[in-house]
Amino acid sequence: MTEPRTEPAPADAPFTYREVGATRLGPLPRGYRHLFHTARIGRGRPAFEAAG
């Protein structure tokens, strides 16, 4: 197992999976599942701006 990444990957880093874009249309590729997650990160314009 690899160590978790502590820095974001560069924007030009290659993808680490073959199915790039396959979840965009139609059924998901075999083994993929939808993930829905919400979290409150704050309220108001300052929180919105801080979220990026």
pLDDT tens digits, 1-52: 667 767 777 888 898 888 888 878 878 888 888 888 898 888 999 998 988 7
Question: Alpha-carbon distance 4 to 11, whole Å?
Answer: 18
* Residue 41 · residue 47 · CB < 8 Å: yes
For residue 5, the model assigns a pLDDT of 63
Buried b (16+ CB within 10 A) or exposed e, 18-49: eeeeeeeeeeeeeeeeeeeeeeeeeeeeeeee
* Residue 3 CB coordination number (10 Å): 5
